[in-house]
Amino acid sequence: MAESAKKVAQQAEDRLEKAAESVRERFDRLTKTAFTDKIRDGRFADQVDHGVDRARADERRKKQGGST
């Protein structure tokens, strides 16, 4: 009985190791393309950065003496 329990435990460990390796490979594939690569490819070129515009408007208001 103890031998069969060891065999089942070993099989479970092998399956878990294969699953972990699969997850590592998928993670590596997903992270292979870095965010900066997407920027270089122009993926976000058509999007406007409203945060910069808002910051500029806030600075103008501060200089004019207006409240935020």
Tokens coding 38: 């997407």
Report the b/e string of 10-25 with b at 16+ CB within 10 A.
eeeeeeeeeeeeeeee
Q: Span 49-56, mean pLDDT? A: 69
Mean pLDDT of the residues in the chain:
81
- The rounded distance, in Å, linking the Cα atoms of 2 and 56 is 73
CA 16 to chain CA centroid, nearest Å: 24
Predicted model pTM:
0.45
pLDDT of residue 8: 95
Give, as one character, the DSSP assignment of residue 35.
H
